[in-house]
């Protein structure tokens, strides 16, 4: 990231939350502009490409490619090792979807002039299967393997559906938004087809995870120039919500 783009992102992080999403995307798009190798000539082909893709479009495409690529080995493992026919069927369907989707994503990436090596590979973030998690899954067997696979797939599919929704809300490119619409549908359908998780013997009941204290993109992706537009703001904390619920109107005077 160039110095000017870094300063704009840092300034953006200090802007009050009351600003509109349009103002946020304007800052993020400005950061993305620093990655162009040369200024396009007015009215030329490069200008047409630049006008189609906004900051959120570029961030979504740049993240979707490693998201898809790094799930393919998981799907291969499920197909080879899982005993649950429903789980195997979902893995097979997703493998076909991803194999057809990746060439489209790479074509858009090339058209937009994004780098061929994704900056997100190797990162740890929700829905992105990293090497450590893949190694743990590869070492698993039996019911433990299937539970790990289900956890990975549910997290991945839920996160991709959420990111597609953000692209549909904040993106500007008709091409990218059409693909995001398909992603939202296919991931939602696959998530609904996943078998219900079977608790292991003597396992404690599942507990609700605490709300993240900060935007996960800012925690895992500090310094990225566009990705923050894809995550919604964090939910209010439980303490704040409890305060609001416990607040009562004053009793009428007698």
More confident residue, 30 or 178: 178
The count of structural domains within the chain is: 1
Report if residue 3 sits inside a domain.
no
Report if residue 121 sits inside a domain.
yes
Would you place residue 32 in the very low, low, confident or very high pLDDT band (cuts 50, 70, 90)?
Answer: very low
Report if residue 39 sits inside a domain.
no
- Determine the pLDDT at residue 232: 55
Distance CA 81, CA 228 (A): 37
- Determine the pLDDT at residue 26: 38
Residues 212 and 18 sit within 8 Å (Cβ to Cβ): no
More confident residue, 123 or 40: 123
Would you place residue 253 in the very low, low, confident or very high pLDDT band (cuts 50, 70, 90)?
Answer: low
**Which range among 24-33, 58-67, 115-124, 219-228 shows the weakest confidence by mean pLDDT?**
24-33
Mean pLDDT, the chain, as a whole number?
73
Would you place residue 124 in the very low, low, confident or very high pLDDT band (cuts 50, 70, 90)?
Answer: confident
Distance CA 9, CA 225 (A): 7
Q: Provide the residue range defining the domain that includes 84.
A: 52-199+219-231
Supply the CATH number for residue 189's domain: 1.20.1260.10
Per-residue pLDDT for 220 more than 50? no
Task: Please state the three-class secondary structure of the chain as a single string.
Answer: CCHHHHHHHHHHHCCCCCCCHHHHHHHHHHHHHCCCCCCCCCCCHHHHHHHHCCHHHHHHHHHHHHHHHCCHHHHHHHHHHCCCHHHHHHHHHHHHHHHHHHHHHHHHHHHHCCCCCCCCCCCCECCECCHHHHHHHHHCCHHHHHHHHHHHHHHHHHHHHHHHHHHHHHCCCHHHHHHHHHHHHHHHHHHHHCCCCCCCCCCCCCCCCCCCCCCHHHHHCCCCCCHHHHCCCCCCCHHHHHHHHHCCCCCCCC
Residue located via tokens 């079977």:
198
- Determine the pLDDT at residue 125: 86
Report if residue 59 sits inside a domain.
yes
- Determine the pLDDT at residue 182: 97
Report if residue 34 sits inside a domain.
no
pTM of the predicted model as reported, rounded to 2 decimal places: 0.63
Would you place residue 25 in the very low, low, confident or very high pLDDT band (cuts 50, 70, 90)?
Answer: very low
Per-residue pLDDT for 154 more than 90? yes
Radius of gyration of the chain (CA): 21
Report if residue 248 sits inside a domain.
no
Per-residue pLDDT for 238 more than 70? no
Report if residue 138 sits inside a domain.
yes
pLDDT tens for each residue of 130-142:
999 999 999 999 9
Q: Which two tokens stand for residue 70?
A: 């790094």
- Determine the pLDDT at residue 117: 77
How many Cα atoms are found within 13 Å in the side-chain-facing hemisphere of 93? 16
More confident residue, 103 or 3: 103
pLDDT tens for each residue of 39-93:
444 444 444 455 689 999 999 999 999 999 999 999 999 999 999 999 999 999 9
Q: Which residues contact 178 (CB under 8 A, 6 or more apart)?
A: none
- Determine the pLDDT at residue 116: 83
Report if residue 154 sits inside a domain.
yes
């Amino acid at each position: 990231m160039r110095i000017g783009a870094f300063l704009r992102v840092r300034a953006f992080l200090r802007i009050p939350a009351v600003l509109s999403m349009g103002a946020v995307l304007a800052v993020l798009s400005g950061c993305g502009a620093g990655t162009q190798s040369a200024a396009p000539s007015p009215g030329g082909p490069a200008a047409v490409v630049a006008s189609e893709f906004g900051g959120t479009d570029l961030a979504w495409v740049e993240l979707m490619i490693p998201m898809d690529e790094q799930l393919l080995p998981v799907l291969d493992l499920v197909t080879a090792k899982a005993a649950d026919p429903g789980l195997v069927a979902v893995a097979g369907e997703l493998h076909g979807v991803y194999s057809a989707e990746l060439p489209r994503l790479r074509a858009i990436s090339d058209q937009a002039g994004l780098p061929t090596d994704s900056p997100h590979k190797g990162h740890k973030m929700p829905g992105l299967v990293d090497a450590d998690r893949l190694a743990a899954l590869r070492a698993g067997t039996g019911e433990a393997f299937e539970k790990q696979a289900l956890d990975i797939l549910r997290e991945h599919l839920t996160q991709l559906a959420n990111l597609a929704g953000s692209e549909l809300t904040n993106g500007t490119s008709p091409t990218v938004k059409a693909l995001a619409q398909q992603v939202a549908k296919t991931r939602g359908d696959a998530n609904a087809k996943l078998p219900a998780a079977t608790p292991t013997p003597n396992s404690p009941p599942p507990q609700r995870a605490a709300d993240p204290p900060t935007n996960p993109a800012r925690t895992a992706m500090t310094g990225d120039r566009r990705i923050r537009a894809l995550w919604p703001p964090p939910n209010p904390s439980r303490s704040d919500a409890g305060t609001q619920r416990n607040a009562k109107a004053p009793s009428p005077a007698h």
